Amino acid sequence: MSTVAAKSTSNNNSDLRVAKSIAPTTKYTKSYVHFVAGGIGGLIGAVFTSPLDVVKTRLQSTFYQQGIEKGIKHTGPIWGHFIETGKLLVQIKQIEGIQGYFKGLGPNLVGVIPARAINFYTYGNGKKFYSELNHGEETAIVHLASAATAGIVTSTVTNPIWVVKTRLQLQGKQRIYTNSFNCTLNILKQEGMKGLYKGMSASYLGVAEGTIQWVIYENLKKRWAHSPAQMENKLTVGGKSAQAWFGNLGAAAVAKLVAACIAYPHEVIRTRLREPIPKNGVAKYTGLLQTLKLVAKEEGVVALYGGMSAHLMRVVPNAAIMFFCYEAILHNFG
C-alpha cells in the first residue's frame, strides 16, 4: 500500500511539475492564437466577399448617385437596393471584367488581415483583463468594454488603409491611381497626412457596430453553441459537437445582421468623407455631422442606407466565415 501511495504521490508531483513548466507557454500561445486566428478569418472572408464589397462602396458614393455608373437607376429604398446590387454586379463584369470585382482587394487584405488580427487579439485579451477587474466574472459589461477597446484601437491603426481602399474601389474605367502605393503618395501630396485619416470620426462612430456585434455574439454563442460534445448521441467534429459549430455560425451571422442594420448610416458617411477631392479643390464633405445633414437634405434619409443590400450580403456571410475560422483555430490550437 505504501509503495502504491508513494508511486501515486510521485506521479502527481511529476504532473504538477509538467503543468508548471508548460503553463507560461500555454498562456502566451493563447494570446498569439487570437492574433493569428483573427487574421486568417479576415483573409478568407475578404477574398470570398470582395465583389460585394466593391458594389457596396460604389452604391454608397456620390459618384454612383450622380450617375457616373451609367445604365443603372435608383429603384427604391428596400427591394430596389437588391435590384441595384444585381445590376451593378453584371455591369462591372461587362465593362471592367472579372478583375473589376477585386478592385481594392490588395489594400483591403493589407487592412483586413492586421485589422481583424488586432481586433480579435485586443478583444480576446481585453476580455481576460476586464474579467479580472470584475472579480473573475465574464459579464455583458466585460464584453462591452472589450469590444469598445478593440474597436477604437483597430480603427485608429488601420484608417489610412481603408482610405486607400475606398479611393481604388471608386475608380471606374478611367484610372486615377495605378496601385495602392501610388494612391498613398497622391493622397499625401495633395491632401497631406490628414488625408489618410479622413472618415476617422465615422470610424469611431462605427465602433458601436462592433461593440453591439460582440455583445450579441457572446450571448447567442452561450445559448446556441455550448452543448456537451462528449455525449454518445451527439455528432462530434474535432472534439466539438456539430450543434456547437452551427451555433457559432448562426450566432456570428445574426449578431452581424443586427449590428449592421442598427449602425449602417455611418458606413455611408465614412465613404463620403473618404471620396477624392473634386478638381476645384473644394471638398464637399468636411465632417461627421455636416455630411449627415447634407446627405439627408440633398438626397433624403434613404441615401444613408445606400448599398445596404450589398453590404448585408457581404458582411453577414463574411462574419460567419470569419468567426467560424476564429473559433475553429482557438478550439484546435488555443
Averaged pLDDT, 265-289? 85
pLDDT of residue 4: 47
Q: What is the pLDDT of residues 143-192, one digit of tens each?
A: 999 999 999 999 999 899 889 888 888 886 777 888 889 999 999 998 89
Average pLDDT, integer, range 192-218: 90
Give the per-residue pLDDT at 56.
81
Task: Give tens-digit pLDDT for 293-331.
Answer: 999 999 899 889 887 887 888 899 999 999 998 888 888
49's CB contacts (< 8 A; 6+ apart) are: 314, 315, 317, 318
**E-strand spans in the chain?**
236-237, 240-241
pLDDT for the residue 225: 65
Q: Which residues of 122-152 are buried (b: 16+ CB within 10 A; e: fewer)?
A: bbbbbbeebbeeeeeeeeeebbbbbbbbbbb
Q: How far apart are CA 173 and CA 56, in angstroms?
A: 18
For the chain, the maximum distance between any two Cα atoms, rounded to a whole number of angstroms, is: 94
Strands (E), 42-142: none
- Report residue 229: phi and psi, to 5°: -95, -10
Q: Which amino acid is at 188?
A: L
More confident site: 252 or 32: 252
